[in-house]
Amino acid sequence: MSFPKDFLWGGATAANQYEGGYNLGKRGLSTLDAITAGSFKQPRMVTCKTKDGKILSVNKEDSLPEGAVGYIDPDLYYPSHTATDFYHHYKEDISLFAQMGFKCFRLSVSWSRICPKGMYDINEEGLKFYDDVFDELLKYGIEPVVTINHFDTPMYLADHLDGWSDRKVIDYYLFFCQTIFERYKNKVKYWMTFNEINILRSWTQIGIHDNSPCRRYQALHHILVASAKAVQLGHQICSDFKIGMMCCYIPAYPMTCKPEDVYEAIKENRKREFFMDVQCKGYYPSYQIKEFERMGFSIVMDDEDENILKEGTVDYIGFSYYMSTVATIDPNAQKAEGNQITAYKNPYLETSEWGWAIDPMGLRISLCKLYERYHLPLFVVENGLGAIDVLEKDYSIHDVYRMDYLKKHIQAMKDAIEIDGVDLMGYTPWGCIDVVSAGTGEMKKRYGFIYVDMDDQGHGTLKRFKKDSFYWYKNVIETNGEVL
């Protein structure tokens, strides 16, 4: 048997894309509540109000005018507000996960549901909601895997403190961590401090107005310190906790064996490895310090930071894997388009309808590389194919393409365990039930085993339907990955 007996098969979601109930249960607003839906070609926009009262729409990747605050326009559609409504459907959804035989379920807790301003304020109703969710999961023997922060910053912190650029946010985040660690210590064992730490940027995700590299990396330093402190705090509160990091891992291959292309790939890979190096080894790698020097800035650090990073290394590496990319110094190489990265096209790989290169072997390569580099248990906490599904008249959905994608990636994990000796803890494919796309805000970019009746404008009954992949994945779990 290749997959260990206690392998954590499950699925993954995030509050801002799944939970909804954005103004219910005394929840405070989060930055992501002010971003609209976009599409493959049209970016999602932040709506904000400037200091002199003008209402603006700004590309979610861009900087916001200084002093601008998040603004909800009653005439616009904001996908996070209802999302696919886990808030009202959690019992039904968890029972469907249980039918598939999930061993674990990855979800994130909404910071502004628990601390509406993100400061030292506690909302008991918010805590109670997650108590109910965790109890429901445990009723079926499903282990919760909790991402403490998945792309959302309480809007109050973004508007009043410029988000993570202010060091004080470290303490607010730790207060939030302490609150949930203490409250849920008998219900939750697996945690991750920040989702896809390596791609965090801008007002929408980390609350910073000025998205220049200097401000972004300063904010990210605070996030790295907060993560390390959270790991230490969690271990003090409960020695059984397993607290991991989470990286968006997109391995870069050199386009050719030309040494300059190989070096270009090394540079591209460092963009993810920098964060893993800090969180797994406990210090800033020399290549990144040199990179900051070249960029003309240095990170402002407190004397204690070096030690905090050293003492707060993680227990495991969680990572998302959807695709690989290509690096080259050739300016004429053919570009590839995708939501998360725009890089060069790999002529050997097919792409998804959203331009993401489909590369199961890249998952095996990543598993080998990360295990050899860090010697820590690995957890594939996101993987999947965003595709357009057709709901047939009889409510069936024949998602053969999804099964094919997942099957090949599971085979790659199996090979990495069996042949390469990688220590892999679990697998939680993304959007195990349809959720709103983070990149585009669309509903039609679906990943789930369970279809949710909702369209790109937020219309639909929110009814749940089992796709063909639902039954297929159930069998994969039942046979512990032996029958694909």
Q: Rule CB under 6 A: is residue 438 a binding residue for ligand BG6?
A: yes
Q: Are 352 and 385 in contact, with CB atoms under 8 Å apart?
A: yes
Q: Exactly one of 191, 437, 446, 481 binds ligand BG6 (CB under 6 A); which one?
A: 437
| Residues in 220-259 at the binding interface with ligand BG6, rule: CB under 6 A | 248
Q: Rule CB under 6 A: is residue 325 a binding residue for ligand BG6?
A: no
Q: Which of 19, 136, 196, 268 is catalytic?
A: 196
CB of 149 to ligand BG6, least distance (A): 11
**311 tagged catalytic:** no
Instruction: Please give the Cα distance from 357 to 349 (Å, whole number).
Output: 6
**482 tagged catalytic:** no
Nearer CB in complex with ligand BG6: 106/364: 106
Q: Exactly one of 163, 244, 386, 448 binds ligand BG6 (CB under 6 A); which one?
A: 386
**Per-residue interface string for the shown chain with ligand BG6, residues 143-182, x marking contact by CB under 6 A:** ----------------------------------------
Q: Rule CB under 6 A: is residue 195 a binding residue for ligand BG6?
A: yes
User: In which residue are the tokens 């029972």 written?
Assistant: 95
Q: Which two tokens stand for residue 322?
A: 């959807």
Q: Rule CB under 6 A: is residue 406 a binding residue for ligand BG6?
A: no
Closest CA to 448 of 356, 360, 382, 357: 382
Q: Rule CB under 6 A: is residue 323 a binding residue for ligand BG6?
A: no
Q: Which of 136, 264, 268, 382 is catalytic?
A: 382
With a CB cutoff of 8 Å and minimum separation 6, the contacts of 193 are: 148, 149, 226, 227, 230, 231, 243, 244, 245, 246, 314
Q: Rule CB under 6 A: is residue 473 a binding residue for ligand BG6?
A: no
Q: Which two tokens stand for residue 175?
A: 């207060």
CB atoms under 10 Å from CB of 183, counted, come to 17
Q: Rule CB under 6 A: is residue 382 a binding residue for ligand BG6?
A: yes
Q: What angle do CA 449, 402, 369 make, to 5 degrees?
A: 105
Q: Rule CB under 6 A: is residue 14 a binding residue for ligand BG6?
A: yes
Q: Which two tokens stand for residue 205?
A: 């995700």
Q: What is the DSSP letter of 277?
A: I
Q: Which two tokens stand for residue 267?
A: 């540079």
Binding piece for ligand BG6, criterion CB under 6 A, among 34-42, 62-70, 237-245, 433-441 = 433-441
Instruction: Please give the Cα distance from 35 to 58 (Å, whole number).
Output: 9
Nearer CB in complex with ligand BG6: 179/193: 193
- At 416, give phi and psi (nearest 5°): -65, -35
- At 196, give phi and psi (nearest 5°): 40, 60
How far is the first Cα of the chain from the last one, in angstroms, to the nearest whole number? 14
Q: Rule CB under 6 A: is residue 430 a binding residue for ligand BG6?
A: yes
Closest CA to 328 of 234, 237, 264: 264
Do you know the residue count of the chain? 484
Binding residues for ligand BG6, total number by CB under 6 A: 15
Q: Which two tokens stand for residue 318?
A: 């969680």
**Per-residue interface string for the shown chain with ligand BG6, residues 290-309, x marking contact by CB under 6 A:** --------------------
Binding piece for ligand BG6, criterion CB under 6 A, among 60-68, 90-98, 223-231, 437-445 = 437-445
Interface residues with ligand BG6 (CB under 6 A) are 14, 17, 195-196, 248, 320, 339, 382, 386, 430, 437-440, 445
Active site residues: 196, 382
